[in-house]
Chains A and B, each alone.
Chain A
Amino acid sequence: AQSVAQPEDQVNVAEGNPLTVKCTYSVSGNPYLFWYVQYPNRGLQFLLKYITGDNLVKGSYGFEAEFNKSQTSFHLKKPSALVSDSALYFCAVRDVGNNQGGKLIFGQGTELSVKP
């Protein structure tokens, strides 16, 4: 069965430092991977996705993610964190090969806290 794991419930970073939010996945077939961010009392905002091609994907608000097939990981990164990046981050996967259509499977979420 397809699954996504975010091993850290919370990540704390000082403003200006680089940040990494970890994600590992398990799918059969080609993985289509997504990152979303959720601010309090809001829906999910799309950050970036990996479909195929370059393993380094660039997305919104200066975020990027690195796809690593051998380690089945898709970690979210940002070179310099902002206080406004503090939010809940979700990694998600969709396995087209199993006719999953549009269904997204989400990790449990990682709370990112950026302190001034």
Chain B
Amino acid sequence: KAGVTQTPRYLIKTRGQQVTLSCSPISGHRSVSWYQQTPGQGLQFLFEYFSETQRNKGNFPGRFSGRQFSNSRSEMNVSTLELGDSALYLCASSLVARGTDTQYFGPGTRLTVL
């Protein structure tokens, strides 16, 4: 079974631009979560989606948004990019959104904001 895929793998943007990242979960998985990883803040939760509904949201400004489609694929969008948004963005999928479920992570999208 194919793992979680994320596209693109690398992105370079300039301040003020916006960016959209894509995540395809493992086949059959209906829950997708997004995390931001930076050297200073570590791994921080962004959003969780299940059946096209956002179930949880982390403490990020409104510039960060996301959505999930009927095929469980998910996208996240960051508008008005800031230098501090440079990070590795990780997507994880699980069967449903239960606490016992294992989240399987994709390889991440490395975003660099210049």
Contacts and interface: CB of A to CB of B under 8 A. Distances in A.
Chain B: interface secondary structure?
strand
Nearest to B93: A102
A96 B98 CA distance: 8
Interface in B44-60: 45, 48, 50, 55-56, 58
A116 interface: no
Interface string B36-47: 000000110100
A57 interface: no
Interface in A27-70: 32, 34, 36, 41-46, 49, 51
User: Number of contact residues on A: which range applies?
Assistant: 20 to 34
Nearest to B45: A103
A90 interface: yes
Contact of A103 (B33, B106, B107): B33
A84 interface: no
A59 B103 CA distance: 15
Contact of A102 (B42, B101, B107): B101
A100 B98 contact: no
A102 B102 CA distance: 9
B64 interface: no
A42 B107 CA distance: 5
Nearest to B46: A103
Contact of B97 (A36, A43, A101, A109): A101
B72 interface: no
11 contacts: A45-B105, A46-B102, A46-B103, A101-B55, A101-B56, A102-B31, A102-B99, A102-B103, A103-B58, A104-B103, A107-B42
